[in-house]
Amino acid sequence: MTVARPEFLNDLRRFRASRRPLVAIGFLAALVAQLEAVALVLLVPWASTIAEDETTYRGKLGPFSLSVDVWTLAVIIVGLVLLALALSVAQLWLRARTVARWQKAARANLLQRWLAASWERQSTDRVGALATVMEFVQRGGLVLLRVTELIRSSLTLLVFLITAVLISPLVAGLLTLAGVVLSRALRPVVGLSRSSSQRLIGLTRKYNDELTEVATLGRDIKVFDATEAFTRRLDGMSDEIERARTRQTLIGGLTQPLYQYVGLLLSVIAIAFIAQRGSSSVESIGSTALLLLRGLTYALGAQTAYQIITETSPFLDSAEQFAASLADAADVEGGAPIGDIDELRLNDVSYRFTDSTDDALNGVDVTLRRGEAIGIVGVSGSGKTTLAQLILRLRQPTSGAIHLNGTPASELSLTSWRRRVGFVPQDVRLLHTSVLDNITFLDDSIPRSAVEDALIAVGLAAEIEALPQGLDTQIGSAVRNLSGGQIQRIGIARALVRNPGILVLDEPTSALDTRSEAIVHDTVATLRERMIVVIIAHRLSTLEHCDQLVVMRDGTVEMQGPANVVRATSPYFREVVSPTLQPK
């Protein structure tokens, strides 16, 4: 059997949490092996006695002398086999439960780390990265299953070897030596298998990422008639995966026939050598040979398990590296909870993306007060979205500070902040569940009455009530029972139902018709009396109810002040907005 190498020991350490059931599996394996070994040892004299038409076996098996009735011997053999079978079933159940529990815990751990990581970290992953890595975690269950198989096969082989040594030390010694030589000879094949598996993992992950992007861009691929181009791109990657998988399968498949047939040949040679010496009885040679030939099956099982562990462990290595990077980027919770919000101030705030040499925001000073609606405008790339992300604490300033009621944001609870700061994105995403769950966002602490009030506030109550099951109607991206405007207003209701102290709206009326837009405007006008409302907008109509305007250009605040003053004097409004829409 292959001797453990350092990387193999590392493969086993990741299953420390399952050590108790693994010990129990090992105990059962050793017990089953002992029962099977005794049954095999007794099988040869039983068969020999029947062949000689005797009713009683009298002879020696190694150091043991036996004198037993042939049918009593048969009953003993059958009893040992049945007991071994029962214990084997118990062992299989324990193995299955151990693997399932490990997979559940590993999935939960990865998901928890991903959700706990900062959005700044999450946003660097390609679409579908989490799903790909979760698939790698699932493969970790295969590694653990093979670990249990390795334990079972190794312990069974060990018990067989000990029993064989007791019966005929010379035969057992020669066959064991042959097995060790064979395992050593196969070690380079195992190394090649691991390296080919690592290459396959890299190609598979890249392909899955590309495939997810194709699914996301399905509409655009159709519109731009890019089907053939994307097909060629994915086919090329698929060809690489095919070559890598063929190589991995070939190298991995070589181990079994080499071990099985060369091992069998060496066993025959060793037994022939011992038989020629005449130093052991026929029964001893036969029992030992039967034990070791049967042990060869378990040695092959152990070798195969080791091979699969070696091939599959790189998937877990990749998953663990991904999880570690998430843990390193976990959100910092902070401290004090947040009560009523009166003022939010950004003091000389700058922000630079990690992969950029230029600041996305530079020296921003903005003060937001309760009772005001503040509009943030500017051309694309001016820093509006980054500014909103800082207010939401999705990103942390590179320099400068954000204060809430005079307290630095870093000293305030991040969970409390996100419960007190609401957000309505331009592209509201729906869960594939009920209207109620979409608005509460699966928060069971929000009462149904609060949801109904939020729907009234956005003018959607009657339309939701008209659905087949009202608030319990199933909606989602694949369910075509809501218009774009209705989805946008559900997004606003989702933010309002938490009664935020700050509400950030990113182009909130972009998908609304005239009537729905008027409803949202009235809602905003009402909300600003009890919270800070921040509106990122391009439509002038969206800015009608804003008290203050902040004009962004190249990451800096070009102008800020009362809405009527900024509209009249800002270069942005002169350059970008049609003069016919300027105030008289």
The domain that holds 110 is classified in CATH as: 1.20.1560.10
**Is residue 305 included in any domain, yes or no?**
yes
**Is residue 553 included in any domain, yes or no?**
yes
**Is residue 333 included in any domain, yes or no?**
no
CB atoms within 10 A of CB 65: 9
Strands (E), 371-428: 373-377, 399-404, 407-408, 421-424
Residues 6+ positions from 289 with CB-CB distance below 8 Å: 171, 267, 271
Domain harbouring 539, CATH code: 3.40.50.300
Cβ-contact 292, 248 below 8 angstroms: no
CA separation, residue 123 to residues 308, 313, 434, 441 (Å):
34, 27, 27, 20
Using the 3D structure, point to which of 298, 328, 358 is the last residue of a domain: 328
What is the per-residue pLDDT for 220?
Answer: 63
CB atoms within 10 A of CB 417: 22
DSSP per-residue letters across 66-106: EEEEHHHHHHHHHHHHHHHHHHHHHHHHHHHHHHHHHHHHH
47 and 161 both lie in a single domain: yes
116 and 242 both lie in a single domain: yes
Residues 6+ positions from 388 with CB-CB distance below 8 Å: 376, 423, 504, 506, 534, 536
Give the integer Cα–Cα distance in Å for 13 and 545.
Answer: 61
316 and 399 both lie in a single domain: no
Question: Residue 542 belongs to what H/E stretch?
Answer: none
Residues 6+ positions from 137 with CB-CB distance below 8 Å: 103, 106, 107, 110, 316, 319
What is the per-residue pLDDT for 367?
Answer: 92
Phi and psi dihedrals of 394, rounded to 5?
Answer: -80, -25
CA end-to-end span of the chain: 90
Q: Which of 326, 308, 323 is nearest to 141 (CA)?
A: 308
Plot region of 487 (φ>0 → left; ψ -120 to 50 → alpha; else → beta): alpha
Going by the DSSP 8-state scheme, the letter that residue 386 receives in this structure is H
**Is residue 334 included in any domain, yes or no?**
no
488 and 516 both lie in a single domain: yes
Give the integer Cα–Cα distance in Å for 236 and 229.
Answer: 11
Using the 3D structure, point to which of 328, 358, 373 is the last residue of a domain: 328
What does the CA dihedral 286, 288, 294, 295 come to, rounded to 10 degrees? -170
Give the integer Cα–Cα distance in Å for 308 and 193.
Answer: 9
Alpha helices in 117-168, H assignment, sequence order = 119-122, 129-167
SS3 label, residue 269:
helix
420 and 462 both lie in a single domain: yes
Using the 3D structure, point to which of 273, 301, 328 is the last residue of a domain: 328
268 and 145 both lie in a single domain: yes
**Is residue 306 included in any domain, yes or no?**
yes
Q: Which of 192, 549, 547 is nearest to 370 (CA)?
A: 547
Structure tokens at 314: 């790189």
**Is residue 213 included in any domain, yes or no?**
yes
Question: Residue 557 belongs to what H/E stretch?
Answer: strand 556-562
Q: Which residue has the tokens 């390795």?
A: 150
What is the per-residue pLDDT for 582?
Answer: 47
What is the per-residue pLDDT for 484?
Answer: 79
293 and 428 both lie in a single domain: no
Q: Which of 18, 8, 201, 25 is nearest to 105 (CA)?
A: 18
Give the integer Cα–Cα distance in Å for 346 and 364.
Answer: 7
Please tell me the number of Cα atoms within 13 Å of 65 on its side-chain side. 0
311 and 383 both lie in a single domain: no
70 and 179 both lie in a single domain: yes
Total domains in the chain come to 2
Residues 6+ positions from 119 with CB-CB distance below 8 Å: 389, 394, 395
380 and 443 both lie in a single domain: yes
**Is residue 211 included in any domain, yes or no?**
yes
SS3 label, residue 519:
helix
Phi and psi dihedrals of 400, rounded to 5?
Answer: 85, -170
136 and 222 both lie in a single domain: yes
Structure tokens at 140: 């970790």
What is the per-residue pLDDT for 364?
Answer: 93
**Is residue 336 included in any domain, yes or no?**
no
Host domain of residue 27: 6-328
pLDDT tens, residue order, the chain (584 aa):
444 444 556 667 788 888 899 999 999 999 998 998 888 888 878 877 887 777 887 766 666 677 878 888 888 889 998 999 999 999 989 988 998 888 888 888 888 888 888 888 888 887 778 888 888 888 788 888 888 988 888 898 888 888 877 777 776 676 667 667 666 766 676 667 667 777 877 788 788 777 777 777 666 676 566 778 778 888 888 888 888 878 777 776 666 666 656 666 666 666 666 666 655 566 666 677 677 777 777 877 787 788 778 778 888 888 888 888 888 888 887 788 888 899 999 999 999 988 788 888 999 999 999 988 899 998 888 889 899 999 999 899 999 999 999 999 989 998 889 889 999 888 888 888 899 998 998 888 899 999 999 998 888 899 999 988 999 999 887 777 788 788 888 988 999 998 899 999 888 776 667 777 777 777 777 777 788 999 988 767 777 778 899 999 999 999 999 988 988 888 888 776 544 444 44
What is the per-residue pLDDT for 30?
Answer: 92
68 and 130 both lie in a single domain: yes
Q: Which of 538, 492, 545, 548 is nearest to 516 (CA)?
A: 492
